């Protein structure tokens, strides 16, 4: 398995020794190969068997032939003996027939024939023996026996016949007499007594013996041979079968190996490629059968996979390089980078960010952002997730006294954002935090510089302007009346002094406004201006601006034309700054218009309000249209007549409008008039049915709605207790509150306050925190824990920024110094109209964890929370405790018809009820209130 790739071809060479010799074999398909193997094995087995049978048969035949020969021989010898016996018998018979010549003659004839026949047969036998001896097939003892016979008995028969023949020839049978007859008989008897006759008889006996011998030996031998042949045949057949089986098996093995080896090799290649991932391996193609095709296919597959894998690897590497580059960029980014998913969990933070927040050893990934970063960042992320189209930036403090600017943008999928009309889904947020400490420092230095310069300019200017004005006054009041203006010279001098002084004063004033503008623009650019953004009615601020320029308008004698669309929506902006812009544009229009009118046109278009100030004045050259918004670019040539501006008015306008997200531009025809226009975007609330509403939003809503569930204001004058250790603050508040129509009590510290509250409980308390003898927090704690005083609305007014503590104590509002009178008065009014403090919220939910969550949030915001877990319970509590609001699980509500019961049956028609859809609630716990889904229904 661990063989080197090069070993694979070797393997194939081994596996197919037949390749070289039998090319055709490899061209065969696997099926024919197997068939061929079977055929070869079967053929060899059959052939072997047939050959075995044939060999055995041949042996048997041979043995049988041998036996037949022996039998022939025996029969021949027996025939010979028979003949000899006949010869003897006939010769003996001759005697008996001597008296009968006819008969004798016929016997004699027979005798002679028999003798001749015997001689012939004997000769034949001898001849055969000769042949056999020559061929060497006759057995030795047989030959010996025969030679013995030949030696002893060859020719005796014929000799004997000659003897007989001689006797007979001497006879004359016809004349034979008794006497002669006896004599002849005697001769024959003599003859018979002779050794020859005895020998012939012996010969006959010997022949019989010979036949017996042959019979005994030869037949036994033949039987032996036959038996041997049969055995041999069996052996040959067995051997040939075994042999052919072996050969067939060997052949079958060979063929199966020829099939199996390449298959094995292919398999091994496939396995190795799979296991080692070595795509350099290739299966060797050795045959044209299916395995060959398989190898080719496998090779192509490996090639393909290899190519694919390589390109994949290359792409991956490229991607990795890109990622590394990106990572390097991100890691070396000077700005801090924080990426969160849509759930607000951190997915990425770069070293710069860690440095900024000293988080070098903190595990950040997959942590919810709010557990690590403070509220300002998490708020940015939450807002961004709520509406991905808004990219917001915020300044925040970093560690070691550094300042950062955070910019959040949503990660939206490009595809979806291309499809118009679909709500853009955000998959996360990117917060980029730039350390702007240096910039802030530069800004601060710049602002300091400007403020110092402005101070240094103002001081001499104060003297110049002040004395000039004093001189003016003294001149008019004291000097001139005392001077005798009789002479023309004196009169002229007096007039010139007056005019010159006027120039000094007006130029001094221009210098002052220039300084003011420079300061203004510097502040805007440095972001030092506190923008007081609030909903504004356009028509109203236009009227305010027109009122401000009324004097100018009157002196100019121009008409003002209002072309203002009715039912304009409110815009969000800084009222005073927008009025400043309008005044500037109006003043410019009036300044550069001698006669005609100034038109103010306002209309709403494309989600923005467009405001234009149109004059019929000298106008501007088209080249100058852009320049007028550049700093210190007064269009000199055109304005030589009336150099009254500072050259900073329009740049300031531009800054203000751009801060509001609007545009400002000028259109003009020289000599016919100019149009200065600006736009303000309308903040249209995004209507999204399934948009996630943060609990924060719900709490805001609760607050607003609780504020609205107010009983009509009672006519009696309300008393407000002002608690502050600083008398002038008390005075200030007293003046402002009394001016608004409230009765004011004062207390100089917490102890004093308690005394006064006990004597005459006020309707509302405004208190400082840092006071001697019971501070504000302690005072609030005492008041809020006493049932007699806990319902008195309380406002904290302090330089100490500890809202959380205040709200936890049950304070209704927490305002910071310096006092923003408008907010204070608004809050006082709201709280007084609302009546009792510490708004009660009844939470009805079966799920205790939800109730707990809501309670925590509400309590932290200063609400008094009552729990109820069943419908009956909630109705009872609602009736007895009269909460300002009920938050109820919609399931419980439906079950008990809670809304109907409370509203119509129990006279709580003004109560504010929020229903919560329970399926949507569980998310709250995991996401820490950031994205719960309570659906308020009215």
Q: Considering only the stretches 317-325, 465-473, 614-622, 854-862, report the one whose residues sit in contact with another protein under the rule CB under 8 A.
A: 465-473
For residue 521, state whether it binds another protein (rule: CB under 8 A): no
Write out the two tokens for 558: 């121009």
Least Å from the CB of residue 512 to another protein:
6
Site string for another protein, 728-757 (x = CB under 8 A): x---x-------------------------
Least Å from the CB of residue 565 to another protein:
34
Per-residue DSSP letter, 402 = -
In the set 1, 140, 818, 872, which binds another protein (CB under 8 A)?
A: 818
In the set 309, 516, 740, 833, which binds another protein (CB under 8 A)?
A: 516
For residue 473, state whether it binds another protein (rule: CB under 8 A): yes
Least Å from the CB of residue 398 to another protein:
24
Least Å from the CB of residue 368 to another protein:
38
Give the separation between CA 400 and CA 707, rounded to whole angstroms: 41
In the set 14, 313, 455, 900, which binds another protein (CB under 8 A)?
A: 455
Least Å from the CB of residue 823 to another protein:
15
Half-sphere exposure of 325 toward its Cβ, with a 13 Å CA cutoff? Answer: 6
**Closer to another protein by Cβ: residue 103 or 458:** 458
In the set 463, 496, 502, 785, which binds another protein (CB under 8 A)?
A: 463
**Closer to another protein by Cβ: residue 151 or 530:** 530
In the set 197, 353, 515, 582, which binds another protein (CB under 8 A)?
A: 515
152: left (phi over 0), alpha (psi -120 to 50) or beta: alpha
Give the separation between CA 781 and CA 806, rounded to whole angstroms: 9
Least Å from the CB of residue 569 to another protein:
30
Least Å from the CB of residue 653 to another protein:
19
DSSP H or E run through 426: strand 426-435
In the set 37, 508, 673, 862, which binds another protein (CB under 8 A)?
A: 508
Strand order in the sheet with 813-816: 743-747, 719-723, 764-767, 794-798, 813-816
For residue 469, state whether it binds another protein (rule: CB under 8 A): yes
Give the footprint of another protein on residues 36-75 (CB under 8 A). none
Handedness of CA 804, 810, 816, 820 (dihedral sign): positive
755 with 798: CB under 8 angstroms? no
**Closer to another protein by Cβ: residue 470 or 881:** 470
**Closer to another protein by Cβ: residue 213 or 516:** 516
For residue 466, state whether it binds another protein (rule: CB under 8 A): yes
Place of tokens 């019929």: 616
**What's the burial of 742, exposed, middle or buried (CB within 10 Å: 0-12/13-18/19+)?**
buried
- Helices then strands, counting H and E runs in the chain, come out as 34, 21
**What's the burial of 149, exposed, middle or buried (CB within 10 Å: 0-12/13-18/19+)?**
buried
Give the footprint of another protein on residues 704-733 (CB under 8 A). 726-728, 732
Least Å from the CB of residue 674 to another protein:
30
For residue 575, state whether it binds another protein (rule: CB under 8 A): no
Taking each helix axis from N to C terminus, what angle separates 101-135 and 30-96, rounded to the nearest 10 degrees?
A: 150
DSSP H or E run through 4: none
Give the separation between CA 178 and CA 99, rounded to whole angstroms: 9
**Closer to another protein by Cβ: residue 461 or 546:** 461
Half-sphere exposure of 826 toward its Cβ, with a 13 Å CA cutoff? Answer: 8
Least Å from the CB of residue 738 to another protein:
17
Give the separation between CA 444 and CA 708, rounded to whole angstroms: 43
For residue 772, state whether it binds another protein (rule: CB under 8 A): no
For strands 346-349 and 336-341, give the pairing: antiparallel
Least Å from the CB of residue 516 to another protein:
6
Q: Considering only the stretches 261-269, 451-459, 588-596, 877-885, report the one whose residues sit in contact with another protein under the rule CB under 8 A.
A: 451-459
For residue 482, state whether it binds another protein (rule: CB under 8 A): no
Place of tokens 């609205």: 708
In the set 171, 369, 465, 693, which binds another protein (CB under 8 A)?
A: 465
Give the separation between CA 530 and CA 410, rounded to whole angstroms: 27
Least Å from the CB of residue 472 to another protein:
9
Nearest Cα residue to 794 out of 753, 759, 760, 755: 753
535 with 572: CB under 8 angstroms? yes
Number of residues that bind another protein (CB under 8 A): 30
For residue 519, state whether it binds another protein (rule: CB under 8 A): yes
What residues are paired with 600 via a beta bridge? 562, 613
Give the footprint of another protein on residues 79-108 (CB under 8 A). none
**Closer to another protein by Cβ: residue 728 or 938:** 728
Half-sphere exposure of 10 toward its Cβ, with a 13 Å CA cutoff? Answer: 5
617 with 675: CB under 8 angstroms? no
**Closer to another protein by Cβ: residue 643 or 727:** 727
Residues that bind another protein (CB under 8 A): 451, 454-456, 458-467, 469-470, 473, 508, 512, 515-516, 519, 523, 530, 726-728, 732, 817-818
């Amino acid at each position: 398995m661990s063989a080197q790739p090069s070993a694979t071809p070797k393997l194939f060479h081994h596996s197919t020794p037949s390749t070289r010799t039998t090319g055709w074999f490899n061209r065969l398909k696997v099926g024919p190969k197997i068939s061929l193997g079977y055929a070869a094995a079967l053929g060899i087995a059959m052939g072997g068997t047939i050959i075995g049978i044939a060999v055995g048969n041949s042996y048997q035949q041979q043995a049988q032939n041998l036996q037949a020969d022996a039998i022939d021989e025996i029969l021949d010898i027996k025939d010979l003996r028979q003949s000899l016996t006949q010869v003897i018998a006939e010769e003996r018979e001759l005697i008996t027939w001597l008296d009968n010549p006819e008969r004798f003659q016929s016997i004699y004839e027979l005798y002679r024939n028999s003798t001749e026949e015997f001689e012939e047969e004997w000769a034949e036998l001898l001849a055969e023996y000769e042949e056999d001896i020559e061929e060497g097939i006759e057995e030795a003892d047989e030959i010996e026996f025969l030679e013995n016979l030949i030696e002893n008995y060859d020719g005796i028969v014929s000799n004997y016949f000659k003897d007989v023949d001689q006797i007979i020839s001497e006879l004359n049978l016809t004349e034979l007499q008794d006497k002669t007859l006896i004599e002849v008989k005697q001769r024959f008897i003599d003859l018979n007594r002779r050794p020859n006759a005895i020998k012939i008889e012996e010969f006959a006996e010997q022949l019989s013996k010979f036949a017996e011998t042959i019979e005994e030996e030869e037949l036994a031998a033949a039987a032996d041979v036959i038996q041997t042949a049969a055995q041999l045949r069996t052996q040959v057949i067995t051997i040939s079968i075994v042999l052919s089986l072996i050969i067939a098996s060997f052949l079958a093995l060979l063929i199966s190996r020829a099939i199996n080896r390449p298959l094995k090799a292919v398999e091994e290649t496939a396995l190795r490629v799979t296991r080692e991932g070595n795509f350099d391996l290739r299966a060797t193609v050795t045959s044209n059968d299916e395995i060959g095709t398989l190898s080719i296919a496998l090779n192509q597959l490996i090639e393909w996979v290899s190519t694919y894998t390589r390109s994949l690897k290359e792409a991956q590497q490229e991607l990795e390089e890109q990622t590394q580059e990106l990572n390097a960029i991100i890691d070396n980014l000077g700005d801090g980078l924080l990426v969160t998913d849509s759930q607000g969990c951190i997915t990425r933070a770069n070293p710069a960010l860690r440095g900024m927040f000293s988080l070098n050893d903190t595990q950040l990934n997959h942590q919810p952002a709010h557990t690590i970063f403070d509220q300002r960042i998490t708020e940015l992320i939450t807002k961004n997730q709520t509406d991905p189209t808004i990219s917001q930036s915020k300044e925040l403090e970093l560690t070691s006294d550094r300042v950062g600017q955070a910019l959040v943008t949503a990660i939206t999928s490009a595809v979806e954002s291309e499809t118009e009309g679909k709500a853009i889904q955000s998959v996360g947020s990117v917060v980029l935090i730039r350390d702007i400490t240096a910039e802030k420092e530069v800004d601060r230095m710049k602002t300091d510089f400007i403020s110092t310069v402005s101070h240094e300019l103002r001081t001499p200017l104060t003297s110049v302007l002040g004395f000039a004005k004093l001189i003016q006054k003294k001149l008019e009041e004291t000097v001139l009346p005392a001077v005798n203006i009789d002479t023309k010279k004196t009169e002229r001098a007096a007039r010139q002094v007056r005019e010159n002084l006027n120039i000094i004063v007006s130029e001094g004033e221009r210098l002052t406004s220039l300084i003011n503008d420079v300061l203004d623009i510097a502040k805007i650019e440095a972001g030092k201006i506190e923008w007081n953004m609030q909903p504004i009615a356009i028509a109203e601020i236009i009227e305010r601006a027109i009122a401000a320029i009324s004097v100018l308008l009157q002196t100019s004698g121009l008409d003002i034309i209002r072309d203002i669309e009715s039912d304009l929506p409110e815009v969000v902006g800084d009222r005073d700054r927008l009025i400043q812009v309008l005044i500037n544009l109006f003043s410019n229009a009036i300044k550069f218009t001698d006669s005609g009118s100034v038109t103010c046109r306002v209309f709403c278009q494309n989600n923005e309000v467009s405001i234009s100030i149109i004059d019929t004045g000298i106008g501007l050259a088209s080249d100058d249209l852009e320049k007028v918004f550049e700093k210190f670019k007064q269009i000199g040539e055109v304005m030589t007549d009336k150099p009254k501006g500072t050259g900073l008015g329009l740049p300031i306008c531009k800054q203000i409008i751009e801060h509001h997200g609007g545009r400002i531009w000028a259109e003009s025809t020289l000599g016919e008039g100019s149009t200065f226009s600006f736009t303000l975007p309308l903040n249209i609330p995004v209507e999204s049915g399934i948009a996630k509403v943060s609990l924060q939003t719900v709490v805001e809503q609760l607050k607003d709605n609780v504020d609205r569930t107010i009983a009509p204001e009672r006519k009696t004058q309300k008393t407000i207790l002002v608690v502050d250790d600083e008398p002038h603050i008390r005075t200030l508040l007293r003046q402002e509150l009394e001016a608004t129509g409230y009765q004011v009590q004062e207390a100089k510290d917490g102890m004093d306050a308690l005394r006064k509250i006990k004597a005459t409980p006020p309707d509302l308390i405004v208190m400082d925190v840092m006071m001697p003898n019971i501070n504000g927090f302690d005072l609030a704690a005492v008041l809020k824990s006493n049932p007699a005083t806990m319902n008195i609305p309380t406002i904290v007014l302090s330089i100490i920024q500890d809202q959380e503590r205040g709200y936890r104590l049950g304070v209704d509002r927490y305002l910071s110094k310096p006092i923003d009178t408008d907010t204070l008065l608004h809050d006082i009014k709201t709280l007084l109209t609302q009546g009792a403090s510490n708004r009660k919220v009844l939470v009805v939910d079966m799920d205790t964890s939800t109730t707990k969550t809501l309670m925590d949030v509400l309590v932290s915001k200063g609400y008094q929370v009552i729990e109820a877990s069943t419908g009956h319970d909630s109705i009872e509590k609602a009736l007895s405790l009269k909460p300002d609001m009920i938050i109820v699980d919609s399931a419980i509500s439906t079950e008990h018809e809670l809304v109907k019961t409370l509203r119509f049956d129990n006279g709580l028609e003004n109560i504010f009820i929020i229903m919560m859809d329970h399926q949507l609630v569980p998310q709250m716990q995991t996401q820490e209130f950031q994205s719960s889904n309570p659906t308020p229904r009215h």
